[in-house]
Structure 1
Amino acid sequence: MGGQGNCVDGKLDDSGYSSPVPLIGLYVTGATLVCLLFILVDVFTSFRSRKRWLPCRLFSLNSITLTLLSIAVKLPLDLTSPMPRVQDQLSKLTGTTLMCICTGIFFPSLGTYRESECFNNMAALTIFVVTIVVNICIQMHTGLIFLFQAEHITIICCMTILLVALWYFASEIHSQNEVSHDGIKAFIMKGRGSMLHRLRVSYVRGYDSNPQFMLCRRPLNTLVATLCVISAVVLMKVAFRYLVSRRSDLCEGVSVYKWSMISIVVSQIIAVVVGCLAITFRLFSMNGHRLVDYGIRQEGVEDAEAIIANNPIFRRTFFFRLKFYSRKIIEIFVTWISLLPSLPFACLEGCVESFPEIRQGEEECDYWTWKNGLNDMGRWIKKIDASNHLIKLLSRAPPLHQDDSPFCQLKAYYDSRKPGYQMSSLSVVLLVRIATISISSSLTASLPNSLNEVFEVLQFVDRKLSASSLENKKKFILAEALWKRENFNYLRPKIVKMFGNNDEFEKQSQLNQSIAIIKGLKEVSLSDYVQHELAMMTDFLLLRAYESIQELYGCIEQLFVDMLNEFLIQLPNAIFREIIESNAEDCEEVVKFALKVLYKVESLEPLVRWSFPVGTTITHLTFNELPNV
């Protein structure tokens, strides 16, 4: 296949080299729009979750966003393509400004990484920023950039200062994250009140302990935001001047990017404006956020609500807002006055914190953090269903602890068949499936309804406390699949066919039909782990002789209650382990999930003998005293 680019008469034919460049321009536009979409999604989800510090989720400092930006800012890195028109020269500035704004957007995400990962990402960002700065300087020296040179210098200076500020944040944020997270863990382990009481307060406190929130409330956030605003204002001034003059014919010729240049410039200006607005909102939405005790950390959520309602400190009046915005203006002024090359960032931050008009008074508290934490928790708590079926079942068939109970016999039987074998959530699911396929629904209706109410709790305890072997992980996944997606009722006709004529099968008693179906379950073909567990469960049920279908169901029901109880009693241990082992950035979501799990079984406290972690001062879930069971 012949093509352009070959040697013709000893000369290289390069006439087609620039033909795909306009398509590359569209590729640059596409990458810019993807970055813009990520920013918008982050802003939308932040407003939806009422996190006014606009945490970075999609558009955070990682390899994906850096790769997207390397495409979006391709033009400032292009050292050879001529840029004769005004829009061509402007595209260099828009790309550089976009990189500067994105560097400012990134900085809250530094708190979400482990220290080594954070430094690796910062190293990658540093290489990228230094490459852009060097390339811009080379282009100004060679004359490729002949317009807006002062603006380029301003923006690359802002970008360089931003990079240094991010390195300062990265060097110290992780130690602060651990201190905040350790405080929550200490309160969970040694604080006053029930587990539910502590988790509710810890959830609200988690708003203030979010690593990205901790970064955004730092005084240097003002510096970051101001640098981004300056960069955006410089770009908008140039763009406005271009739109007013409408000059595009400075030099003859057209850039190799041709018609795609307009789409690049427009998309990058929009991305810069949106990013700058997000950063500005992040700056002006943060109060001093210095929490004081006021009993909120030690008292319950109801007490916190009373404090917020009755204390004038929490009332956001016009004068409160005026005072806040005045402080922000002073803070910006002090920050920039203090910005001298001889001062390290630590001294700069200390200067801002020590300024008397900015420093938060000891009497002030973070109204927004607590109020929204309480409201957020109140919304999803109302959606949690009570365990009505489970309460009735546990009341009718209380857990047995005698050595001759069906559950103890089942454990001994399992151990004889496979020493060291651990029961799992798969065992509970299979027991319910055996009951619903072999016994009339008029008897077994309470079993699936009860398991539905507590299945999330069962899975949580199983995942957190079971051994982390490959076998247990597979059983955990199979249990979820069997309960949520697969019902054994389709096996009943197949099992009936194994015993010959359907009419003869129907003439048998309900007990004989159920025994036959339980025997037939051993013959069906299922996955290895399910087949093995099912065989042991059915063999155990068939060891006994039953006088009636009610006796068979009574044995299954008691087994179900005892197996559930075996998992439920370990719920406090699972919750404590989940929180203690979580990372600082995950703590809020971990506590939220623990609260949801606990609210599901809150009404079961009088019916379950809970087991609490050794070394904690807690002895109950919700009651003031441990109830007698």
Structure 2
Amino acid sequence: MGGQGNCVDGKLDDSGYSSPVPLIGLYITGATLVCLLFILVDAFAGFRNRKRWLPCRLFSLNSITLTLLSIAVKLPLDLTSSMPRVQDQLSKLTSTTLICICMGIFMPSLGTCRESESFNNMAALSIFVVTIAVNVCIQMYTGVIILYRAEHIIILFCMMILLVALWYFASEIHSQNEVSHDGIKDIFMKGKGSMLHRLKVSYLRGYDSNPQFMLWRCPLSILVATLCIISSVVLMRVSFRYLVSKTSDVCEGVSIYKWSMASIVVSQITTILVGGLAITFRFFSLFGHTVGEFGMLKEGVEDAEAIIAYNPIFRRTSFFYLKFYARKVVEIFVITISLLPSLPFAFLEGAGAKLSESWHNSNTEKEVAMEELKNLIHDEGEMDLDKWTLRKGVNDMKKWIEKANTSNQLIKLLSKTPPLHQHDSPFRRLKAYYDSRKSGYQVSFLSVVLLVRVANISIPHFLSGSLSSILNEVFEVLQFVDKKMSASSFENKKKYVLAEALHESNNFNSLLPDIVRKSGYHDGEFRNQPQLIQSIAIVKGLKTVLHRDYVRDELAMLTDFIQQQDFESIGEFYGYMEQLFVDMLNEFLVQLPNAIFREIIESNGEDCEKTIKFALKVVCKMEQLEPLVRWSFPVGTTITQLASHDHELPFV
């Protein structure tokens, strides 16, 4: 056994303590590579979705990424392990720099967290960063870190300024989100034109009010980008000098991480390089916005002075006055300091802007259309959106609106078989039958799915196949309406989940052998029966082969109702089922404007853009049905049309 971990001759045998450390080094490398993967996926998604601020989805500030980062930067927390080689000393600097880069990448994600969650994450990050800074200072004092001390001091300074900047962003963004979200709701509720038109305008406003976009185009984001770029440049300079000069080791020996140290250094330098490039791209793409908004600070001060002068309450409240001006002084000071090292970038960005402007000026039609769009938006909600935001928002909207096409089969079905509103229509009789069996029972989304499944198994495919295709086309819309307009009871939630599962699963054809067996017919005898007899027998036997649950209960009521009808042919049977299906579809589709209105009004600031995007896709998918469906609009609103091209936006 070797006596490892025991006392030998009165002394503790610690010879085996360092044996698993190289494996721990691989664990550190693995955590770093996961961070790199998250950064790459976010960058790819940003380019793919044409969002040049590269939103943080996977690699955002949360408990998972903080845990990964704490593993990846374990080396600066190691106070006692000797680091004799230059490579070992470099690993301390790479780990510390990695924290700066990750903080810069985290920054936009602060806008997507709820206020309490954001402050909790920032508190955890602060404890982690301060602990790292204290540990690095201790190691420089004790001699564990003997190389690159000046570089460590620069990185620690950048790290602490970044932490202060992140706290500022976390404290400011949530109030801005609430104001922006209220503005979007106001545009949607009080705007002009159809729901489609209002959604397009609201989407452009939501695109401009994206919390991550708002954070990165804030003037103080220049400071964050500059500090991250400085940190990366400092590390790359040291790494280049180490690789090119082949600096000899300061002392003899090898650290306890041994051969795994090389993988740690390489993985961290790669992650810093990729993260630094992502931040630099953000910086270049939005530099014009951040510098352009510098003038807004002066306007904000003037607005505050006007408010204070107009309202004597604020004039007497010195705390409000001092707090506002203190914040503005800090902003102006920080921006001024951060702009100094950014002058080379400003020159490059200015040259690029001139080239871009000349290219855009060559496209006269596009410029005219953008001006028309901008004027239209000013009329709608007095929104001050720049050309870049308008162009990117319109292009993004155009990209996925073009994919939203209404099913031709659905249009043909509604044109051929319009919904019946008579008292004795199949759907009215079904509702009355449901109510007689179970008081207050409502036709649900599950009823629609079950009706199609019953038709699929009981009616030949050449007749009933189109019902399945149509259901697949409008499934997302029906699901959305049912979820928003149904009562949030346990029973309705359960039926909603069952309908989704039933739609994704195979149809009822696998139940056919059991149905035939329980019907009293032999297989051959059953097949020799007329098609109508077979269909009625299948409908009658369906409920007998299922276990008792919500599906069985709903199916039993539906099949019992169908059996009460008299049919003379399979064609008449299918016609009845088709009319019932159309009436059910209409019951849900007419509520679409109400569901969209409720979804947007009830949404919170973090999900605003996604909510409007989904609603806009649904409306574009259903806009061709406007002449065929009697939409039900929210009471008390001025929305009278779902989709109208009287106020169409350019490019869309």
Both proteins in one fold, TM over 0.5: yes
Verify: 1:575 aligned to 2:600, yes or no: no
Offset at 1:131? 0.2
Residues 42 and 516 (structure 1 numbering): CA distance in 2 closer, same or farther, change over 3 Å?
Answer: same
More deviation, 605-614/551-560: 551-560
Task: Give SS of 1:420's match.
Answer: coil
2:208/2:385 contact within 8 Å kept:
no
Residues 345 and 30 (structure 1 numbering): CA distance in 2 closer, same or farther, change over 3 Å?
Answer: farther
- Give the Cα–Cα distance (whole angstroms) in 2 for the partners of residues 330 and 276 of structure 1: 28
Q: TM-score, normalised by structure 1?
A: 0.86
Which residue does 2:381 correspond to in 1? none
1:387/1:603 contact within 8 Å kept:
no
- Give the Cα–Cα distance (whole angstroms) in 2 for the partners of residues 535 and 329 of structure 1: 68
Offset at 1:198? 1.3
Counterpart mapping for 1:407-418 below 5 A: 407-418=427-438
Which residue does 1:246 correspond to in 2? 246
Which residue does 1:338 correspond to in 2? none
1:570/1:612 contact within 8 Å kept:
yes
- Give the Cα–Cα distance (whole angstroms) in 1 for the partners of residues 401 and 595 of structure 2: 20
Task: Give SS of 2:82's match.
Answer: coil
- Give the Cα–Cα distance (whole angstroms) in 2 for the partners of residues 623 and 244 of structure 1: 66
1:569/1:608 contact within 8 Å kept:
yes
Superimposed CA distance per residue, residues 33-79 of structure 1 (whole angstroms, 9 cap, x where no aligned partner): 11111111111111111110011111111111111111111111111
Partner letter of residue 35 of structure 2? C
Which residue does 1:585 correspond to in 2? 606
- Give the Cα–Cα distance (whole angstroms) in 2 for the partners of residues 183 and 353 of structure 1: 28
Verify: 1:234 aligned to 2:231, yes or no: no
Verify: 1:347 aligned to 2:367, yes or no: no
2:22/2:258 contact within 8 Å kept:
yes
Residues 155 and 414 (structure 1 numbering): CA distance in 2 closer, same or farther, change over 3 Å?
Answer: same
- Give the Cα–Cα distance (whole angstroms) in 2 for the partners of residues 453 and 147 of structure 1: 65
Partner letter of residue 21 of structure 1? V
Superimposed CA distance per residue, residues 219-265 of structure 1 (whole angstroms, 9 cap, x where no aligned partner): 11110111111111222222223224323431222211112222212
Q: 1:464 aligns with which of 484, 509, 516?
A: 484
Verify: 1:566 aligned to 2:548, yes or no: no
- Give the Cα–Cα distance (whole angstroms) in 1 for the partners of residues 86 and 464 of structure 2: 78
More deviation, 105-114/489-498: 489-498
Verify: 1:552 aligned to 2:573, yes or no: yes
Offset at 1:597? 1.4
1:87/1:248 contact within 8 Å kept:
no
Which residue does 2:54 correspond to in 1? 54
- Give the Cα–Cα distance (whole angstroms) in 2 for the partners of residues 446 and 62 of structure 1: 47
- Give the Cα–Cα distance (whole angstroms) in 2 for the partners of residues 237 and 556 of structure 1: 75
Partner letter of residue 442 of structure 2? Q
2:220/2:331 contact within 8 Å kept:
yes
User: RMSD between aligned alpha carbons?
Assistant: 2.6
Superimposed CA distance per residue, residues 302-356 of structure 1 (whole angstroms, 9 cap, x where no aligned partner): xxxxxxxxxxxxxxxxxxxxxx8xx89999xxxxxxxxxxx9664232468899x
Superimposed CA distance per residue, residues 426-461 of structure 1 (whole angstroms, 9 cap, x where no aligned partner): 101111111222123343343223222212111111
Residues 508 and 601 (structure 1 numbering): CA distance in 2 closer, same or farther, change over 3 Å?
Answer: same
Q: 2:442 aligns with which of 402, 422, 427?
A: 422
Residues 116 and 373 (structure 1 numbering): CA distance in 2 closer, same or farther, change over 3 Å?
Answer: same
Partner letter of residue 202 of structure 2? S
- Give the Cα–Cα distance (whole angstroms) in 1 for the partners of residues 415 and 238 of structure 2: 76
Counterpart mapping for 1:40-189 below 5 A: 40-189=40-189
Which residue does 2:16 correspond to in 1? 16
Unaligned runs of 5+ in 1: 291-323, 332-342
1:568/1:608 contact within 8 Å kept:
yes
Residues 153 and 419 (structure 1 numbering): CA distance in 2 closer, same or farther, change over 3 Å?
Answer: same
Superimposed CA distance per residue, residues 489-531 of structure 1 (whole angstroms, 9 cap, x where no aligned partner): 2223332233323343334333222211111112112461111
Which residue does 1:279 correspond to in 2? 279
Offset at 1:594? 1.1
Q: TM-score, normalised by structure 2?
A: 0.83
Residues 507 and 271 (structure 1 numbering): CA distance in 2 closer, same or farther, change over 3 Å?
Answer: closer
Verify: 1:402 aligned to 2:402, yes or no: no
Partner letter of residue 597 of structure 1? V
Counterpart mapping for 1:286-325 below 5 A: 286-289=286-289
Which residue does 2:395 correspond to in 1? 375
- Give the Cα–Cα distance (whole angstroms) in 2 for the partners of residues 522 and 329 of structure 1: 70
- Give the Cα–Cα distance (whole angstroms) in 1 for the partners of residues 479 and 470 of structure 2: 14
Unaligned runs of 5+ in 2: 297-324, 347-352, 354-373, 376-383, 647-652
1:84/1:254 contact within 8 Å kept:
yes
- Give the Cα–Cα distance (whole angstroms) in 2 for the partners of residues 458 and 429 of structure 1: 10
Which residue does 2:469 correspond to in 1? 449
More deviation, 25-34/129-138: 25-34
Offset at 1:365? 5.2
Aligned residues: 576
Verify: 1:474 aligned to 2:506, yes or no: no
Partner letter of residue 525 of structure 2? E
Offset at 1:288? 4.4
Residues 328 and 251 (structure 1 numbering): CA distance in 2 closer, same or farther, change over 3 Å?
Answer: farther
Task: Give SS of 1:93's match.
Answer: helix
Which residue does 1:211 correspond to in 2? 211
- Give the Cα–Cα distance (whole angstroms) in 2 for the partners of residues 183 and 168 of structure 1: 23
- Give the Cα–Cα distance (whole angstroms) in 2 for the partners of residues 24 and 3 of structure 1: 23
- Give the Cα–Cα distance (whole angstroms) in 1 for the partners of residues 520 and 328 of structure 2: 82
Superimposed CA distance per residue, residues 176-208 of structure 1 (whole angstroms, 9 cap, x where no aligned partner): 111111111111111111011111222233221
- Give the Cα–Cα distance (whole angstroms) in 2 for the partners of residues 195 and 591 of structure 1: 11
Residues 552 and 375 (structure 1 numbering): CA distance in 2 closer, same or farther, change over 3 Å?
Answer: same
Superimposed CA distance per residue, residues 120-164 of structure 1 (whole angstroms, 9 cap, x where no aligned partner): 000000000000011111111212112222211111111101101
1:6/1:13 contact within 8 Å kept:
yes
Partner letter of residue 370 of structure 1? L
1:177/1:584 contact within 8 Å kept:
yes
Partner letter of residue 584 of structure 1? G
Residues 289 and 241 (structure 1 numbering): CA distance in 2 closer, same or farther, change over 3 Å?
Answer: closer
More deviation, 220-229/22-31: 22-31
Which residue does 2:201 correspond to in 1? 201
1:565/1:608 contact within 8 Å kept:
yes
- Give the Cα–Cα distance (whole angstroms) in 2 for the partners of residues 139 and 384 of structure 1: 60
Normalized per residue, the structure richer in helix is 2
Superimposed CA distance per residue, residues 567-591 of structure 1 (whole angstroms, 9 cap, x where no aligned partner): 0111011111222222323222222
Partner letter of residue 151 of structure 2? E
- Give the Cα–Cα distance (whole angstroms) in 2 for the partners of residues 624 and 65 of structure 1: 46
Offset at 1:29? 1.4
1:168/1:345 contact within 8 Å kept:
no
- Give the Cα–Cα distance (whole angstroms) in 2 for the partners of residues 373 and 542 of structure 1: 54
Partner letter of residue 614 of structure 1? V
More deviation, 57-66/462-471: 462-471
Partner letter of residue 451 of structure 2? L
1:193/1:624 contact within 8 Å kept:
no
Which residue does 2:365 correspond to in 1? none
2:222/2:335 contact within 8 Å kept:
no
Which residue does 2:268 correspond to in 1? 268
Offset at 1:423? 1.9
Which residue does 1:540 correspond to in 2? 561
Residues 87 and 422 (structure 1 numbering): CA distance in 2 closer, same or farther, change over 3 Å?
Answer: same
1:165/1:345 contact within 8 Å kept:
no
2:220/2:335 contact within 8 Å kept:
no
Task: Give SS of 1:144's match.
Answer: coil
Task: Give SS of 1:523's match.
Answer: helix
Which residue does 1:433 correspond to in 2? 453
Residues 272 and 590 (structure 1 numbering): CA distance in 2 closer, same or farther, change over 3 Å?
Answer: same
Superimposed CA distance per residue, residues 350-404 of structure 1 (whole angstroms, 9 cap, x where no aligned partner): 468899x99x9x9995333222322222232232332222222222222222222
